[in-house]
Chain A
Amino acid sequence: MIQFEYVKPSTQKAAVNAVAKNANAQFIAGGTNLVDLMKRGVTAPQKLVDINGLPLKEIKKTPGHLYIGALALNSVVAGNNLVLQHQPLLAQALASGASPQLRNMATVGGNIMQRTRCSYFYDTVLPCNKREPGTGCSAIEGYNRMHAIFGSSLSCIAVHPSDMCVALATLEAVVMVSGPGGDRRIPFADFHRLPGETPHIDNNLQKGELIVAIEIPDNNLAKNIHYLKVRDRASYAFALVSVAAALQINNGTIEKARLAMGGVAHKPWRLFEAEKMLVGKEATMEHFKAAATLAMTGAKAFEHNTFKLKMAPNSIMEALRVAAGLEV
């Protein structure tokens, strides 16, 4: 790891300024992604701004929302009573990620900002448009088993690796940020980006902007929910495909449906069309199958990930089945 400067500001303003004013400065929270990337030379900030001195750990219920501070640990959020009571889907998704040790370090803000696990992105010897714009994408013609089936471009076919973010997409969370130009609120669907021609830009956060918290609007989606994660081993592995499903069912009829997938795109992949289709329908496997089929419109696989074209719709159906409480 190359040398860098380290500062630990005690105010939000000082932290924002420290990153806004230095082109090569970065925030560090749990360090579980950034320290790894720095050890491998994928990224080499000249200054680290440790935000752990800021009071951003709070989890509270406010009128209309559940508020979770950016520094709340993944393990703490997963076990928090307010989260379990109001947004258990988020707790499920968090508990399925990484390992107990990593969840004790990883923060909500860092989880949102974590970078792709594309192995070529990590291998500094090989071309990668995300790491070094303009060098090419080694995955398109390479080993692309983990890669995207939706929304990819000729520049990048990587996926966003987070589980938590898939649940936050389903729950329509809002990311609250504070930057040199003031505060703003970014709806989750607008936070992460598709790769397009600029795969080096993962999301719409601007230089110096700090994630302060997330807010999840009250939604009546605590009962019929399920986070399904399909992976190579039973635990401690990234998703091949994951689905966050939330339904509101009244007398067998679906009144509200929310769905998002992980492991399939450069951002948490919300299934808007399938959601629309389900509203007003009976919660049956037949309708879930139709929704899954609709959700796969436009999917495009590469040499080693064609299995996802089957795994994804099956996972959608299974997540909906469990969420609705239907027998196999």
Chain B
Amino acid sequence: MDHLIFPTNENELAYESRRDFLKQSTMLTALVLTPAAILKAGENDENIASALEKLPLTLEVNGITHKLAVEPRVTLLDLLREQLHLTGTKKGCDHGQCGACTVHVNGARINSCLTLAIMQNGQKITTIEGLARGEQLHPMQEAFIKHDGFQCGYCTPGQIMSAVACINEGHANNRDEVREFMSGNICRCGAYPNIVDAILEVKQGGKKI
């Protein structure tokens, strides 16, 4: 068995050292860059404090107006999940590559992981929590259940938000168009055919969604 164990250890070693290196370099970045940032901000701008201050932010989320304070570096996704505890919106990749974080801003679908919350000041946000009317599920939610449009469910909130927008944009006229215009939502469980079925059914139902 030795010959099997050895390469594993080596891999682990390589992994550990890279992780340590990453940790160290992150710490170094934190040590070196943060004070420099403050100093630089002081040289160039009157207001040194603003680099670290929270900024006031007003957001309407699912019909409720929130007056908040955020650091500029907080993404809309993190604000929704961590400050407003709306954890229906998922963090998949955090880099715009999966669509799990899809929400609507003034009705248009976006990736909430790639926008800063402060940039959305004054906007109307709709998340997956905002679709149902009390106990009454949104037609798209019902269609996903009926057609088994998911397995693990992790991508589902993003898929449903994207699906609603896809129909409202007028991009759900046939299977191929739905596939193209839902390509920004990755499903690792591969529920794609059922997702397309669900969307086409809602589209053909013709209800305003």
Contacts and interface: CB of A to CB of B under 8 A. Distances in A.
A1 B110 contact: no
A219 interface: no
A41 B29 contact: yes
Question: What is the interface residue range for chain B against chain A?
Answer: 35 or more
Nearest to B94: A39
Contacts of A31: 114-116, 119
A46 B35 CA distance: 11
Interface residues of A, number: 39
Interface stretch (B4-12, B82-90, B146-154, B180-188): B180-188
Contact of A46 (B26, B37, B116): B37
Nearest to B39: A46
B22 interface: yes
A231 to B, nearest CB: 11
Contact of B114 (A1, A22, A105, A124): A105
A101 B111 contact: yes
Given A4-B51, A6-B116, A235-B183, A125 B37 contact: no
A73 B166 CA distance: 17
A2 B119 contact: no
B81 interface: no
Interface string B97-136: 0010010000011110011101100000000000000000
Contacts of A62: none
Interface stretch (B58-66, B68-76, B200-208): B68-76
Interface in A178-208: none
A101 B109 contact: yes
Contacts of A101: 96, 99, 102, 109-111, 162, 184
Given A2-B33, A125-B18, A100 B73 contact: no
Contacts of B184: 98-102, 236
A235 B40 contact: no
Given A5-B45, A24-B40, A235-B183, A102 B73 contact: no
Given A3-B37, A47-B41, A101-B99, A124 B109 contact: no
Nearest to A50: B119
B118 A36 contact: no
A304 B160 CA distance: 39
B48 to A, nearest CB: 9
Contacts of B94: 39
A284 interface: no
B118 A6 contact: yes
A100 B181 CA distance: 6
Nearest to A105: B110
Nearest to B113: A35
Contact of A5 (B41, B109, B115): B41
A102 B162 CA distance: 12
Interface in A75-113: 75, 98-102, 104-105
Contacts of B183: 99-100, 234-236
A125 B22 contact: yes
A243 to B, nearest CB: 20
Contacts of A3: 34, 37, 51-52, 71-73
A52 interface: yes
A44 interface: yes
Interface string B3-38: 000000000000000100110011001100110010
Q: What 3 A-B pairs are tightest by C-beta distance, nearest first?
A: A99-B184, A235-B183, A6-B72
Interface of B: 18, 21-22, 25-26, 29-30, 33-34, 37, 40-41, 44-45, 47, 50-52, 55, 71-73, 75, 94-96, 99, 102, 108-111, 114-116, 118-119, 162, 165-166, 169, 171, 179-181, 183-186
17 contacts: A1-B73, A2-B37, A6-B118, A21-B44, A24-B37, A31-B114, A32-B111, A44-B33, A98-B96, A99-B111, A99-B185, A101-B109, A101-B110, A102-B184, A104-B109, A125-B21, A125-B22
Given A39-B95, A48-B72, A236-B184, 8 more contacts: A3-B71, A3-B72, A35-B75, A47-B45, A99-B184, A100-B109, A105-B110, A235-B180
